[in-house]
Each structure stands twice: as C-alpha cells, then as structure tokens.
Amino acid sequence: MPITNAMVLAAGLGTRLRPITDTLPKPLVPIAGKPMIDYVLDLLGAAGVSTAAVNVHHFADQMEAHLRRREVPRILISDERDALMNSGGGLAKGLKLLDQGPVLVMNADLFWVGENAGTPGNLQRLSEFFDPELMDMALLCVRLEDTTGHNGKRDFSLGADGRLIRYREGMDNPVVYAGAIALESQLFADAPKDPFNLNIYFDRAIERGRLFGLMLEGRWMTVGTPEAIGEAETIVRRFEPGG
C-alpha cells in the first residue's frame, strides 16, 4: 500500500542563497523554470501521496499563495511565522495536522531526476521498504558520485543488512542522506514542543538498531547556494525528454 500522507520541511531562511532569498522563499526559487518545492510535491504525488503538510516561515504569504494553486497533493499549512521550529520541531508540529500512520518526509530543497521509467520510483520503493516492526525510520540514501550541489560530506555507513550508522573515515559503503524519510507518525508523539534537530531521532534510532537506508536511483540534487542553481538546471535539462 502506498503511503498517502507526507510532511515537507520548507520553513528555512535559505541564508546561503542570498541575495535571491532576500525577496523569495527558498522553496520557490526556480530550477529550470520550476520552483524547487514543486519538484518535491510532484514526486510525492506520483508516489501516491494525497495530503501533504508544508511548514512555512520565511515569506510565508508567498508560500501559501503558491501552494493554494496546487491540486495534488492537497496541501495543509503548518504555520511557523511566530517561531522557526528547526527540522525536528517542525516535523513534530506538522505531523499533528495529518492522520496517524505512516508518513513520508521530504526537505523542500532536495530532489532527484532520472528514475527508471516503468519501474517504481524512489518514494514508492521507500514506502514499500519501510517496516515499522523493524524500523523507526527508513532513509533514502545516495552515493556521493550520484549527487549534484552536495558539499562532499558522507552521512552514514550502510550495512549489508540495511542498517545505518554514522559514517566515520575509513568505513565501508558511505552514503549521503537524500532528504526523504518513511516513518510512523507515532514516533513523534512524545516529541518536545520546542525547536530541536531531527538528528536526535536519527541517533536514537541508530542506538536501537532501527535506522535503515535504501539507495536512491537517479541523480540527486541539493540547491543551497546561487552557484548550485546552474548545476541543478544542467542536470534537470539533461534528463528532460530530448535533453
């Protein structure tokens, strides 16, 4: 069964993308003529997501106006105008808007192209891979050589059994966290109401042997600086029909 609920983390200030983000929220920065967040929402919609909560803060009115124009998935706004909640706090707050159960989580500035046509996409694969009996969270991961715009940091080591641990120099099978998660919303039922970083939950899951990873198919992009926009656009156009 597909996971039909999602949370998109989109409230950040985008300071490294200044001066572009002095007048525009980072998720609305266009890549090859399409706002970043629409790549993310289109991927979620294609995976069977019908409802997505999106948190807003920086130029929140612009975000809401843009999101109102979307039909799929249906958008629920998690309002952080008063205070940014960081990645973990923002997720915990947004989950309260969604029905309890399995949820896909994505960052608004990370997406991919080049999935294999005619086969399940990465988010559908992640949904099918996630087993709440065995896992707290399943993370989509990517090889460093399949990234564009990334700073070169390796986040985890992926074991033969699918478990993730924090990467340290010299470890086998290093991977980059690709900004997509499958989890059960109940995992955050007792989460702090104050801002906190999602890494706390990653490390807690690692301690319990319940953080798992699935490798991404295609080309993954992160857009954190003005220079990264051109790099991402080159990749997007390469994978367009006739590109």
Domain-wise residue ranges, the chain: 5-239
Residue 99 has pLDDT above 90, yes or no: yes
Residue range 42-76, pLDDT digits in tens: 999 999 999 999 999 999 999 999 999 999 999 99
User: Phi-psi category of 108—alpha, beta or left, where left has phi over 0 and alpha has psi -120 to 50?
Assistant: alpha
Residue 23 has pLDDT above 60, yes or no: yes
Residue range 183-217, pLDDT digits in tens: 999 999 999 989 999 999 999 999 999 999 999 99
Q: Read off the pTM.
A: 0.94
Average pLDDT over residues 99-125: 94
Q: Which fold has domain 5-239?
A: Spore Coat Polysaccharide Biosynthesis Protein SpsA; Chain A (3.90.550)
Beta strands in 11-81 (DSSP E): 30-31, 34-35, 51-56, 74-79
**Which residues, listed in sequence order, are joined to residue 148 by a DSSP beta bridge?**
221
Q: Which run of H or of E encompasses 243?
A: none
Q: Which run of H or of E encompasses 42?
A: helix 36-46
CA-CA-CA-CA torsion sign (202, 11, 17, 68) = positive
